[in-house]
Amino acid sequence: ALATLGRGAEAVPHLREAMRLGIGDAVIPNALAALLAESGAYDTARVVLDEALRAHPEDAALAHNLSRVLVATPGLSTADRARALRL
């Protein structure tokens, strides 16, 4: 709710805590990664989405968002470009 109100910085700790507690809903890492990427923390957003995609390999939203984070990351490697395209 905080993120939808434009209070993303306040939402991040709550989303991290939900992940730490093991709440398995893929919406949580998606929201956290979006907020992290929005703030320029692409590497951290990538880690969040990579872990979530391992737990939810069939989740198209996670794959799509990881692809978006990859292509937004400065200095993206050729291998990561290819991965983004596959996703």
**Separation of alpha carbons 67 and 12, rounded Å:** 21
pLDDT of 8 reads: 80
Q: Give mean pLDDT, residues 44-65.
A: 95
Q: How confident is the model at residue 60 (pLDDT cuts 50, 70, 90)?
A: very high
The whole-chain average pLDDT of the chain stands at 92
1: pLDDT strictly greater than 80: no
